[in-house]
Amino acid sequence: MKDILIVGLGGFIGSAARYGVYLFTTKLELDKPYLSTLIVNLVGCFLIGLLSGEFMKLSNQVGLFLIAGLCGGFTTFSTFALDGLKLIRDGMIAQFIIYASISIVGGLIVCLIGFYLMNKA
């Protein structure tokens, strides 16, 4: 239960930070529909790369808070990138290509299906 609260607290902070990026880009009149998402995804990937290094060996709970919570709440794309990096690092190139293709193309397809189902009336 304690671990769930740790992840939840990190997720709260990450989600609030994601919304903060949206507000910041809007305030600068950079409110393109994709810009804040792009910034969040790139920053999140950079952060999860930094955090998954030696620093994370300090404590499992620190890792839960920062990676699963903070980065996960900020963007799940960062987790996707880290998982992809692990597959490449482990020489599992075919699995990475399948994983990335299904994630990107499949995600777009199921998003389209959901959108269509809710707007077909």
Q: Does the pTM exceed 0.75?
A: no
The pLDDT tens digits for 51-91 are 887 666 778 888 899 989 999 999 878 888 988 999 999 99
The pLDDT tens digits for 5-44 are 999 999 999 999 999 998 998 888 776 767 888 889 899 8
The pLDDT tens digits for 95-114 are 999 999 999 999 899 889 98
Q: Is 102 exposed, middle or buried (0-12, 13-18, 19+ CB in 10 A)?
A: exposed
Q: Give the residue among 77, 89, 88 at the shortest CA–CA distance from 42.
A: 77
